[in-house]
Structure 1
C-alpha cells in the first residue's frame, strides 16, 4: 500500500488545502452537502461510492473541521453531517470547479446541471480574481512570494 504524502505543514496554502480535502470523493461529498445532502445514505445514493470509502472520507472531513456530526433534524436516532463555517468557506472553490468544468468539459448546448441564484433563477456570473484595488487579474499579473526559511 502506498503511503500518502502529508502536506499539512507545507508553506503552500494550495498544498495544505489539498491535504485537508484529500481526494475527489471528499470534494464531491462537500458538493453534495451544499446541495442539501445530510445523511450517510443520501451521500451514498448520490455518489454511488462504496460504504467503507464514504465512511472514511466523512470521518476525515469531520476530523478536519469541514463537516460536523449533529443529531438528526427529524429527532430520530440517526445523525447528520452539516458543513461547518470552514466547510461553508469551500463554496467559492466548488463554484470555481463547476464553472471551470462547464467551460472545458461540455460541448456547446450539451445538457448539464447548473448552479443558479435562488432569487432570480439565473446562472452565477463567472468568478474572477481581482486585486485589492479592483483590477481583474490573470496569472501573468501575480507572483507567489515564497517563505524564506533562512531568515530568523
Structure 2
C-alpha cells in the first residue's frame, strides 16, 4: 500500500485518510475486523485476496496503529489482529460507506447484508452528521475552512 504523497505534509484530513485507508483491501480488512475476523487465514478466506497483498495491508495497518498484532487468544502459535482505538474510530466511516452503498448500489428489494444491534438484532438507524447540540446537518450547511498557505 505505497503512499503517493507525504501524507504528513498534506493539510487535508480527507487526503491523509484516503492515503492510509482508501485502498479497497484496507477498508475490507477493517470491515472484517469489526465483524470479528482476527486471523490471517480467516481474512484471506473471507476476502479472497492474495497472500502478499493481505500481508502488506495488515503490516501497514499495524504500523499505522489501526490494528494491533497479538498472540492468539486460544494459546496457539498464531497471531491475531485486533482493532486499536484508532481502528475503532473508523466505525463511522465503514457505516457511512455501507449506508451509501445500500442507498445507491442495490435495486429496491434486492437482498444485502444489514447492520444490526448485537443485543437486540434490530437494524441500526440512519447515520447523520450533527452539530455539538444535536442538530442534523447536510452538506449544503457546511464548508471546509482551508489552511492558509504557509501556516
TM-score bracket for the superposition, by shorter chain length: over 0.9
Work out the CA distance in 2 between the residues paired with 1:150 and 1:8.
15
Corresponding residue for 2:72? 72
Corresponding residue for 1:36? 36
Work out the CA distance in 1 between the residues paired with 2:30 and 2:103.
21
**SS in structure 2 opposite 1:70?**
strand
Corresponding residue for 1:98? 98
Out of 2-11 and 15-24, give the one that drifted further.
2-11
2:50 corresponds to 1:50: yes
Which 4+ stretches in 1 moved above 6 angstroms? none
Q: Deviations over 1:40-72 (max 9, x none)?
A: 000000000000000000000001100000001
Work out the CA distance in 1 between the residues paired with 2:150 and 2:55.
42
8 Å Cα contact 1:71/1:79 also seen in 2: yes
Corresponding residue for 1:129? 129
8 Å Cα contact 1:8/1:20 also seen in 2: no
Corresponding residue for 1:138? 138
Work out the CA distance in 2 between the residues paired with 1:6 and 1:33.
27
The structural deviation recorded for 1:19 is 1.5
Gaps of 5+ in 1: none
Work out the CA distance in 2 between the residues paired with 1:150 and 1:59.
34
Corresponding residue for 2:15? 15
Work out the CA distance in 1 between the residues paired with 2:111 and 2:37.
23
Work out the CA distance in 2 between the residues paired with 1:22 and 1:97.
12
**Structure 2 length-normalised TM:** 0.93
The structural deviation recorded for 1:5 is 3.0
**Structure 1 length-normalised TM:** 0.93
The structural deviation recorded for 1:149 is 2.4
Work out the CA distance in 2 between the residues paired with 1:57 and 1:70.
16
8 Å Cα contact 2:3/2:20 also seen in 1: no
Aligned length: 150
